[in-house]
Structure 1
Amino acid sequence: MYNSGWCWFQDPRAIVHNGKLLVGGVAGNGRGDAAVGVYDLERDALLGRTTLHDQFDHDDHNSPVFYARPDGSVLSVYARHSTENIHYYRISNSDDYLSWGDEKTKTYDDSVTYMNLFALNDGKLYNFYRGVDWNPTMVVSSDHGKTWGEETHFIQNEVEGRHRPYARYTSNGTDTIGISFTDAHPRDYGTSIYYAEFRDGNFYQVDGTFIKNLAKDGPLKPSEAEKIFTGGGGGFRSVELSAQNSAWTSAVEIDSQGHPHIAYSLYLSNDDQRYRIASWNGEKWIDREVAHAGSRLYEREASYTGLITLDPADPQRVVISTDVDPTNGEALGGKHQIFTAQVTSADETASIDWQRLSFDDHRHNIRPMVVNDGEHKLVLWSRGQYNTYTDYYLDTVGLDLKAAIH
């Protein structure tokens, strides 16, 4: 998909539905349209790219996300980067997903960004986003996205001042939402990594220990969740630095045994960041470093890495983007490349055999994601020039991960 970028705090940015791959993105230049590209996997053919919303600020935080509705249609939801209090949504009305119904809106009291859609077996569709007080917030639809209820404050900041916990979400596909989140932005605070599960209106620790009821007791606070990694805890140093030893959540998935796996980055310096994975084995968390992440993407966002992600159907299948050798940290020549490996809970950086997937030495290859519907296992990423989150020239590319692995 040409001219499209995405951030990593909204999902799913791509889905496979009825044999077709749908990919969302926002153009990083020109009119900045929010768009969807469609690829027919059965025919091995690109069907096209269509605009969902013209002039959508060329900001990669605004990328559309998708939900496959029971009637075969697809819902797309998208929002600007906290510049207005609206989320937009449209429902497809064609089998090739290139034609969409009228755009509708849901209005909130606070500005919003970062849409995340998850359906559970209670018949409800959940949208998790940043909203109330710049905090993670939730809104629910009981008709598969045609209408939406009232917003609910979901996670509450505890760092003194106005801060924004960053959250990544996943689901076991039936009754549980897994949440990996931070205290704040890593530039502003030496952030830790936390985990909790949300089920039947309650928050729980991973072992099932009850924490609180959302409706009765209010939003979850970091101090009430499980702390997976302890960050430096220090404050703001500079717009060109992150706080010391600050972590940032990148991906979270739940495996077939119901065990969560959290992938995140750790800031050591502008030129030295690390990728880590924390895995629950049924008895305890196993947290370890798995790769060198290399340098920041640009100077104003010191904790922006190429990112680490996990296969949602097999979280031990890991994909990363780095501009250094993942094992020893030696420079690769200045551009980020895509690597994959099978990573067990016993592995650490020195023991992992990384396989390189991209070989473009002239353009960045960043922000990978894995789409796995059981039949297809695809890895997608952004390739091109990345200057800032509002100035980029990126295309979405990908490959069949099953075929690529050796």
Structure 2
Amino acid sequence: MTNSNSNLNAERIERIPATLTDDGAWCWFADPRAMRYVNAATGSVKTYIGYIDVAGNIQAVQYDHITQERKQVQVRTGFQQDDHNNPTFLALPDGRVMIFYSEHSTTPYFYYRVTTRPDDLETLGPEKIIDTTGYGNTTYPSPFVMTDQPGYFYLLWRGVNWHPTVARFTLPDPDGDVSCDMEPKQIVDSRSHEQETGKRPYAKYETNGKDKIMMTYTYTHPDNMIPNSLYYSYLDVNTLRLHGADGHQLADLNRGPLKLDNKETDPAHLVDRQPGIRNWNWDIAVDKEGYPVILFVRIHEEKNRHHYCYAKWSGTEWRITPLADGGRWFHQNDQREHCYSGGMTLDHNDPSTVYMSFPVQGKHGEVFEIHHCVIADDGTIATINQVTEDSSQNNVRPFVVRNAALGEAYDLIWMHGDYYYWDHTQGRLGYTTGLRTLCDIVVSEDEARTDPSA
């Protein structure tokens, strides 16, 4: 903008990294870990951001876009110190907000709290439990409300036999209580026989909000299989039938899960499989045509090279765009989790927009920095720009806040700092990270001309 006094320097707005919290982390398989919610009935416009701190406390931030007031809400103290346990959010049709969290594959319980008033996390009711005993342990809660199924919400997680699982529950009553309306069902099965253990597909989910839950999943953990295939399908919640991208039926969950064999050739089901490559998925969204878009990484056999890819269904095939060399694992622990990439995220409002973390050389050496990328309609990279630069510590696992308007407060959030392991118990050095976002500052043109980063 230009100051009205012509004798003063011209000014412009510049976005720079700012600390949201200096103690927080999240994984990338439980979503939405942050969301913006506009309540037409109350006029409220708020963003909710969840994370787990190093002490194992489940935390949330509530930002009011109208008053610009930010509040910190502690959801649960003394939980399992594990970054897999970050909370996820669901905005209910009556405006109340529901928060889910669970331990990392140790207990058959989901924990949740529901606000007693619309839009306000400070009114969270008491902690309640969804018991999944007999249906596996609980990790990565991903909740959805579907307009074709009013009165219910769907919850997806890693559950039955350590595989993607779905169940339907009644919406919370005035006391916050829910009941299971459809018993948990395993969605896919990568085991060669029922007694086999260790296989665990990793899934990411998105929905059209009406009748379909779209998902991308691997055959198993990339550490455990070469090649490790990446798949796509969608679940029709009205029939519980699983379909490929072209609409043909793959399985009926009423009769059992879809069997996987890591040798799929169906082009509407198989997204990617490359010799010597371990695939892992990072995000899934739906474009303006209703076609799925997927972010995934091809990890070389030795795990020391990670290559980022963008896949979009064209209507007849998956069109894959190589995005960037993601380097190797981002963390300081050279002994474990070599498939941990810096990470990627889509803008779900416009999935031609990608944010990704990969290493670049700066004044502090090679550091993982956040980059912004736009994919053209023909699948080529239209633009790519660096968002953070000359950082002293890594910037990883970016996330575009669901329903956020890019360019507004709390639209993009990422982890910043040193990371050693996902577990911070028993004397381990784990996730010593915080969360950062972008904030606006006013920069004079004279300052900008002397700033080499401008």
Instruction: Please state which band the TM-score falls in when normalised by the shorter chain.
Output: 0.7 to 0.9
- State the match for 2:447 in structure 1: none
Q: Higher mean Cα deviation, 33-42 or 312-321?
A: 33-42
- State the match for 1:306 in structure 2: 342
Answer 1 or 2: higher relative contact order, Cα 8 Å, separation at least 6.
Answer: 2
Change (3 A) 1:127 1:87: same
C-alpha distance in 2 between matches for 1:118 and 1:35: 21
The answer on whether the counterparts of 1:89 and 1:105 sit within 8 Å (CA) in structure 2 is yes
- State the match for 1:188 in structure 2: 224
C-alpha distance in 2 between matches for 1:228 and 1:11: 22
C-alpha distance in 2 between matches for 1:87 and 1:372: 22
Q: CA deviation at 1:395?
A: 1.9
- State the match for 1:219 in structure 2: 257
- State the match for 2:159 in structure 1: 131
- State the match for 1:230 in structure 2: 273
Change (3 A) 1:151 1:60: same
Q: CA deviation at 1:107?
A: 1.3
C-alpha distance in 1 between matches for 2:145 and 2:339: 31
Q: CA deviation at 1:400?
A: 6.9
Change (3 A) 1:324 1:221: farther
Aligned partner of 1:386 among 407, 414, 419: 419
Change (3 A) 1:231 1:331: farther
Change (3 A) 1:152 1:46: same
The answer on whether the counterparts of 1:293 and 1:324 sit within 8 Å (CA) in structure 2 is no
**Matched residue SS, 2:161:** helix
**What is the identity, as a one-letter code, of the residue corresponding to 2:146?**
L
Change (3 A) 1:296 1:10: same
* TM-score (ref. length: structure 1): 0.88
Off by >4 Å, runs of 4+ in structure 1: 374-377
Give the percent of matched residue pairs that are identical in Structure 1 and Structure 2: 29
Q: Higher mean Cα deviation, 217-226 or 257-266?
A: 217-226
Q: CA deviation at 1:331?
A: 11
C-alpha distance in 2 between matches for 1:358 and 1:148: 45
- State the match for 1:241 in structure 2: none
**What is the identity, as a one-letter code, of the residue corresponding to 2:243?**
Y
Q: Which runs of 5+ in 1 are unaligned?
A: 233-243
Cα-Cα RMSD: 2.4
1:25 aligns with 2:51: yes
- State the match for 1:365 in structure 2: 395
Change (3 A) 1:332 1:248: farther
C-alpha distance in 2 between matches for 1:376 and 1:343: 16
The answer on whether the counterparts of 1:324 and 1:332 sit within 8 Å (CA) in structure 2 is no
**What is the identity, as a one-letter code, of the residue corresponding to 1:309?**
T
C-alpha distance in 1 between matches for 2:137 and 2:402: 32
C-alpha distance in 2 between matches for 1:309 and 1:332: 25
The answer on whether the counterparts of 2:286 and 2:292 sit within 8 Å (CA) in structure 1 is yes
C-alpha distance in 2 between matches for 1:368 and 1:220: 31
* TM-score (ref. length: structure 2): 0.79
**What is the identity, as a one-letter code, of the residue corresponding to 1:61?**
H
Change (3 A) 1:80 1:374: closer
- State the match for 1:12 in structure 2: 32
**Matched residue SS, 1:353:** strand
Q: Higher mean Cα deviation, 49-58 or 113-122?
A: 49-58
Change (3 A) 1:374 1:26: closer
Q: CA deviation at 1:372?
A: 4.4
**What is the identity, as a one-letter code, of the residue corresponding to 1:227?**
L
- State the match for 2:187 in structure 1: 154
Q: CA deviation at 1:140?
A: 1.1
